[in-house]
Structure 1
Amino acid sequence: MAFAVIKTGGKQYLVEQGRFLEVEKIPGAEVGAKVTFDQVLFKDTGSSVQVGMPTTGTPVTGTVLEAGKDDKKVVIRYKQKSRYFKKKGHRQPYMKVMIDSI
């Protein structure tokens, strides 16, 4: 079983071939597009192990299955006795990617 650790969107993910992954929105990628993750920090193919910061010449590829927004996070600011109340919401965009090859 091959797996790798990739870095995208400022975060690190442990990925396996054929598994799904939710990552930060990738600029320029649309649903159905092939994406390449060049920053592979660790790669184990079962017979060999590569470690680097990042490794060179060993990209991980995937297909974008869906793009959407995450659940809403609500932030409330309140000060007592002064009628001060602020409420803000934020929905982080994400992409669901299926890992094709390691």
Structure 2
Amino acid sequence: MYAIVRAGGRQEKVSVDDVVTIDRVAKEAGDTLNLEPLLVVDNGKVVSDAAELNKYQVTAEVLGEVTGPKIKILKYKSKTGYKRRLGHRQKYTQIRVTGIAAK
């Protein structure tokens, strides 16, 4: 059994006990998180109807925050002496899917 869920601005394919990195969520480590299923596949039965999907619930446990790779930004204009170096690291939340079940 697996599900396609909406997590932040993206869609993720998850099944039970998967560890997934999603956009940052304001939750502490150990908290539970409910994700909105967009599609559920259960033993070959595909559920994509909104009325049917309301019967399913995807729960996950927050493992903690992680940071993405460092992105280096360099701004430079020739002949003026202007240069500027910046960096950015995106923060993500790591979760473990604990259940995909009908309500």
TM bin (shorter chain): 0.7 to 0.9
TM-score by length of 1: 0.87
Which of 43, 49, 57 is residue 40 of structure 2 equivalent to?
Answer: 43
Q: What is the count of residue pairs matched by the alignment? A: 99
1:1-102 paired onto structure 2 within 5 Å? 2-27=1-26, 29-37=27-35, 39-46=36-43, 48-52=45-49, 55-102=53-100
TM-score by length of 2: 0.86
Q: CA RMSD in A?
A: 1.6
Structure 2 counterpart of 1:46, one-letter code: N
Q: Which has the higher strand share?
A: 2
Residue 63 (structure 1) shift: 0.7
Structure 1: tracts of 5 or more residues without a match: none
Q: Which runs of 4+ in 1 moved over 3 A?
A: none
Structure 2: tracts of 5 or more residues without a match: none
Structure 2 counterpart of 1:84, one-letter code: Y
Residue 49 (structure 1) shift: 1.9
